[in-house]
Structure 1
Amino acid sequence: MRMGTRTFIFFIFLFSASFASTTSAAGSYDEAMAAYEEGEIEKAVSILEPMAQNGHIQAQVTLGDIYLYHMEEEDEVKGLEWSRKAAEQGDSEGERLVGLAYEYGYGVKANPLVAMKWFTKSAKQGNAEAMYDLGNMHQYGNGVKRDTSTAMIWYIRSARNEYPPAQYMVGKFYKRGYGVRRDYSMSAKYHKMAAEAKYTPSQVELGILYEEGKGVRKDYKEALRLYQSAAEIGYPSGQSHLGQMYLKGLGVKRDYQEAMNWFLLAAENNDDEACLQIGMMYEKGLGVKKDMAKALAWQKKAAEQGNREANMNMAKKYFTGSGVDRDFGEAIKWFRKAGDCGCD
Structure 2
Amino acid sequence: MFGKMLKRSKSTTGSRKPDFRRGLAAFEAEDYAAAVADWMPLAERGDAEAQYRIGQLYARGQGVVRDFGDAAHWFRKAAEQGHRDAQFSLALCYANGEGAAQDNALPVRWYKTVSKASPPTADANLALLYPNGLGIAPDIAQAVHWYRLAAEAGHPEAQHHMGLLHAFGQGVAQDHAVAADWYRRSAEAGYAVAQHALASLYANGQGVERDIGQAIAWYGRAAEQGFANAQLALAVIHEHGTGVEPDPARAAEFYRQAAEQGHPVAQVNLGLLYARGHGVPKDYRETLKWCRLSAEKGNVNAQFNLGLIYSNGLAGAPDYAEAAVWYRKAAMQGNVGAQVNLGLMLVHGWGGRPDLVEGVDWLRKAAAQGHTGAMTNLGALYASPDSKAHNPLQAYVWYIMAAAGTQPGPEREGLEAKAHELGNQLTSEDRHKAQVIMEDWKKNPKLVANA
Q: Which amino acid aligns with 2:199?
A: G
- Are 1:35 and 2:29 an aligned pair? yes
TM-score by length of 2: 0.60
The change in CA–CA distance for 1:123 and 1:75 in structure 2 (over 3 A counts) is same
Query: What is the match of residue 61 of structure 1?
Result: 52
The answer for the alignment partner of 2:80 in structure 1 is 88
1:75 to 52, 67, 73: 67
Q: Matched residue of 1:157: which SS?
A: helix
2:438 corresponding residue in structure 1? none
AA aligned to 2:287 is A
Aligned to 1:342: none
How does 1:159-174 map onto structure 2 within 5 Å?
159-174=187-202
- Note the C-alpha offset of 1:78: 1.4
- Alignment partner for residue 203 of structure 2, among 168, 175, 188? 175
Contact residue 134 and residue 151 of structure 1 kept, 8 A = yes
CA shift in 2, pair 1:58/1:276, >3 Å: farther
Q: Which has the higher helix share?
A: 1
User: Is 1:235 aligned to 2:279, yes or no?
Assistant: no
Identify which of 179, 187, 192 aligns with 2:215. Answer: 187
- In the superposition, relative to structure 1, how do residues 162 and 47 fare at CA in structure 2: closer, same or farther (>3 Å)? same
Counterpart amino acid of residue 25 in structure 1: F
User: Which moves more between the two structures, 134-143 or 253-262?
Assistant: 134-143
Are the equivalent residues in 1 in contact too, given 2:232–2:254 (CA < 8 A)?
Answer: yes
Unaligned runs of 5+ in 2: 1-16, 99-134, 348-358, 372-451
1:85 Cα deviation from its structure 2 partner: 1.5
Query: CA shift at 1:132, angstroms?
Result: 1.0
Corresponding residue to 1:333 among 368, 371, 378: 368
CA distance in 1, matches of 2:284, 2:38: 54
What's 1:16 paired with?
none
Q: Is contact 1:230-1:238 (8 Å) kept? A: yes
Structure 1 pair 246–60 and aligned structure 2 pair: CA distance change class (3 A): farther
Maintained 8 Å contact 1:156/1:167 = yes
Pair 1:90–1:152, CA change in 2 (3 A) = same
Distance (Å, rounded) in 1 between the aligned partners of 2:32 and 2:205: 44
Task: Tell me how far apart the structure 1 counterparts of residues 329 and 34 of structure 2 sit (CA, whole Å).
Answer: 44
Pick the aligned partner of 1:251 from 265, 279, 293. 279
Q: Larger deviation: 297-306 or 245-254?
A: 297-306
Do the aligned partners of 2:78 and 2:86 also contact (CA within 8 Å) in 1? yes
Q: Which residue of 2 aligns with 1:134?
A: 162
Matched pairs, number: 306
2:393 matched residue in structure 1: none
Partners of 1:203 and 1:44 lie apart in 2 by 40
Residue 26 (structure 1) aligned with residue 21 (structure 2) = yes
Moved more, 244-253 or 130-139: 244-253
Shift of 1:165: 0.6
Take 1:70 and 1:191, find their aligned partners in 2: how far apart are those partners? 37
CA distance in 2, matches of 1:317, 1:47: 65
Aligned to 2:318: 290
Matched residue type, 1:137: L
2:252 maps to a residue whose letter is: L
Amino acid at match of 1:85: K
* TM-score computed with the length of structure 1 as normaliser: 0.76
User: What do the CA deviations read for 1:102-152 (whole angstroms, capped 9, x no partner)?
Assistant: 111122111101110111111111111111111222233322344434333
Please say which of residues 323-332 and 162-171 is displaced more in the overlay. 323-332
Shift of 1:285: 2.4
C-alpha spacing 1:237/1:59, structure 2 compared with 1 (3 Å): farther
Change (3 A) 1:253 1:66: farther
Matched, 1:201 2:204: no
In 1, Cα distance between the equivalents of 2:291 and 2:32?
A: 37
Residues 55, 183 of structure 1: alpha-carbon distance in 2 compared, 3 angstrom cutoff: same
Shift of 1:198: 1.3
Q: 1:216 to 1:91 in 2, by over 3 A?
A: farther
Deviation track 1:187-221 (CA, whole Å, cap 9, x = no partner) reads 21111010111112112211222222324443333
Contact 2:202 2:211 in 1 (8 A): yes
Question: Which deviates further from its counterpart, 273-282 or 70-79?
Answer: 70-79
Taking only aligned residues, the RMSD between alpha carbons, in angstroms, comes to 3.1
Aligned position for 1:49: 40
